[in-house]
Structure 1
Amino acid sequence: MCKIISKYSKTGYLKYISHLDVLRFIQRSIKRAGINAKYSEGFNPQMKTSFGFPLSLGTESIGEYFEVELNEPIEPELFIKKMNSVMPKEMQILKASISDNPDSIMKRCRYAQYLINIETDADVDELNNYFKEMLDVGVVYFRQRKKKNKVISKEINTKEMLKYLNAEKTKENNIRIEALFITEETGSMRVDELLKLIEDKGFAFDYYSITKIDALDEEMKPLL
């Protein structure tokens, strides 16, 4: 038995499919590729796979991860070749390696690295000053959700959720934001929440795009 960890992309029209659909899609791809995956025992056997944190709908990524347990060893290069032969160009295996780490991908993932492009004529220095406030002092906001016909509010401080923020003007009316979010199994700040804070502060923008670059471990290194 062996375990393979893979880094994959999710781009184009596939950025609009849900996390659950991604799980099913990759498991079906493993079957179609003829890879001998390990299954759980019992009445309803399930393929032994694990995935990283869900990606928000509409967000592209070149840094998603999954692991699969196999009944027999396979060279990572062959695994990549077989998987990519049955997967669309919008979702491809970028890297793969034998894994002996007992922790889940979610447990290993401590940071999520994003690149955000916004179409705006905002002053980049003023935006970076606001980012400094978010990181050093903290900006508090409330996340609301419904539970049993009740609205529950959770107070969130950006200082506890963000590790790095920087804005850079790339061309006229366009600013690129590099962001490093702290990820926790109990919950993390979302990119759309960051964008709302930016907009509420008076930095209006007409268009934005979000790309997740990678998932990083506690040493701020990519998982693969």
Structure 2
Amino acid sequence: MTRQDLPDDEQLTKDGLAVSEPSGRILLIACGALAREILDVKARNGWNHMDLTCLPAILHVHPEKITEAVEEAVKKHRNAYDRIFVVYADCGTGGLLQKACERLGVEMVEGPHCYSFFEGNQAFEARDESEATAFYLTDFLARQFDAFVWKPLGLDRHPQLRDMYFGNYTKLVYQAQTDDPALTKKARECAERMGLEFERRFTGYGDLETTLADWAQRSASSEQ
């Protein structure tokens, strides 16, 4: 008998005997830009029944590819887990990711993008019109500013294009997930390079943490 001959809820021990796998396993399919934050929240709460697999963060440069990548990941892993959750917001997919998740029977994080759910979707929506001219950084983007902002826009080669790209912005808002002076310094330097005012907001993990907590609690309750 091979592993493929066994039911989905069984595995082989070293002695070749079939035993039941632990039930209630959760898989989070997430954007790679959220990996550090998810792993931190997971560790602090002791959610050992929750696994994480990440899609490349660079997909945010090509949001039209996100939905297909998530669909493929769900189909690949769904037989190995009791529940799968998608740790993306809409993220520029124009509602297509939401429709795909509904079709696949999986839940995703609410909100238009991570800047909203880190701040808290309600708080983000309540901000005034001045936010329309804000450029946002998270901890991830503060670390990876060159790779995900500066170089993709060609500003490493053509710095004279800076004002063309950022001329309609008035400030850079750094949404800090962690209280890290080094990252704050990096974010401030990013604002200076872009010619923008700098504002730091300590958001923590916002709706990301509360959403993960809800998923973990509901999954645990369903197994009791």
Relative to the length of structure 1, the TM-score reads 0.25
Larger helix percent: 2
Higher relative contact order (CA 8 A, sep 6+): 1
Larger strand percent: 1
Relative to the length of structure 2, the TM-score reads 0.25
